[in-house]
Amino acid sequence: MILRTFRWSFLLTLVGLAVAFVYDKGSGLALVAVLAILEVSLSFDNAVVNAKVLDRMAPFWQKIFLTVGIAVAVFGMRLLFPLVIVGVTAKLGPVEAFDLALNDPSRYHHLMNDAYPMIAAFGGMFLLMLFLDFVFEEHDVRWLEWVERPLARIGKLDQLPVVVAGGSLALVAGLWAEHSGEVMISGVLGMVTYILVNGLGELFSEPEDVADEAADARSGGPSALALATGKAGFFLFLYLEVLDASFSFDGVIGAFAISTDPIIIALGLGIGAMYIRSLTVYLVRKGTLHEYVYLEHGAHWAIGALAACMLVSIAHHVPEWLTGGLGAGLIIAAFVSSVLRNRTSGETPTVEVGPGRDADEDNLHSTGV
């Protein structure tokens, strides 16, 4: 199972490390390895959330996410996105931005740092909305009973996630941000993006999915999208891509503390992104989220921690080890709690196989991921 699921990740690792060695015989190999580990540590919670949503997608859109989505994640976000940011900031063309990255890495890094407050505001608000939508929703299973129960109770107030997120953004922009106007606009765009993709998913969801919604615990993402097809599947795919982008912002910026070479960064983060995709598939195949019921909760609390770190980092540097450590710690704690729950209950955990699950697994196998 592990070899079959991760074989393309292993292959990409070998190819990436070989390219890094040829490209930079000095330290390229070590830098790419460190960047890959950084990406996995920062985005592990992303895999858990993706698995929850991917399990509800129709086979066709699962394949699209695991093929086209990988290309977007590896080449789009890890290679092209930094160049676009620098190009927009410095008013340069793509070729000029790439030339700047290769020949003047210090200025390239400086321009990326100048743009970071806006990037962090967008990604932080998108992730914060995702977190708030989850914790303010009623769930059949609760991990942190003492805090999740009161949050679900007050979450009955309509549009409370928007109120809390908007208030947090106003506080950050007013107290910390040097360029409060740009930060405010970027943060609002992050909120609007989340609300828009969520709303479009609901609008185009199939009627039978709506009927099944009451029977399913919400995942904190677009609702009413069980085994989404057609337009609903497309917007769920779009949601996952934006979610991946929001997670990758922190990794892309943090990578500059290790290397300013865009090729090295793309190789390292691309390998890490591939492992996250493979881990997502593994979690779906094994039914891990059904077996360890608190993992989803831990992942969303990790998302909340990441969102808070991104908002704080607008004005104050937050070490990457702290961001990654918080996320990993919360997920490990949720996993341990799930194991203890399963043991004390005296029941053997069973995987809840939803409609079309067998077909989904066959299609996941056929992707070769």
Comparing 122 with 52, the larger pLDDT belongs to: 122
Largest CA distance in the chain: 63
How large a percentage of the chain has pLDDT more than 90? 7
Residue 57's SS3 state is strand
Nearest CA to 241 out of 67, 119, 76, 69 is that of: 69
Task: Encode 184-196 in three state secondary structure.
Answer: HHHHHHHHHHHHH
- The answer to whether 39 touches 268, Cβ cutoff 8 Å, is yes
Please give the DSSP secondary-structure letter assigned to residue 220.
Answer: S
- By mean pLDDT, which of 20-34, 194-208, 273-287 is the weakest? 194-208
* 163: confidence class by pLDDT, cuts 50, 70, 90: very high
Q: Render pLDDT for 175-190 as a digit per residue (tens, 0 to 9).
A: 876 778 888 998 999 8
What distance in Å separates the CA atoms of residue 103 and residue 99, rounded to the nearest whole number?
A: 6
Tracing tokens 């066959």 back to the chain, one arrives at: 362
- Eight-state DSSP code of residue 348: -
- List the beta bridge partners of residue 228: 57
- In the chain the first and final C-alpha atoms are separated, in Å, by 11
Average pLDDT across the chain, whole number: 77
Tell me the two tokens of residue 86.
């620098």
**Backbone φ and ψ of 257, nearest 5°:** -75, -15
For the four alpha carbons of 198, 200, 203 and 204, in that order, the dihedral sign comes to: negative
Cα 103 to Cα 239: distance, rounded to the nearest angstrom: 36
Residue 264, pLDDT score: 85
**Region 318-342 average pLDDT:** 83
Q: Do the Cβ atoms of 273 and 74 come closer than 8 Å? A: yes
Residue with tokens 């989850």: 134
* Structure confidence by residue, pLDDT tens digits, 84-103: 777 777 777 777 887 887 78
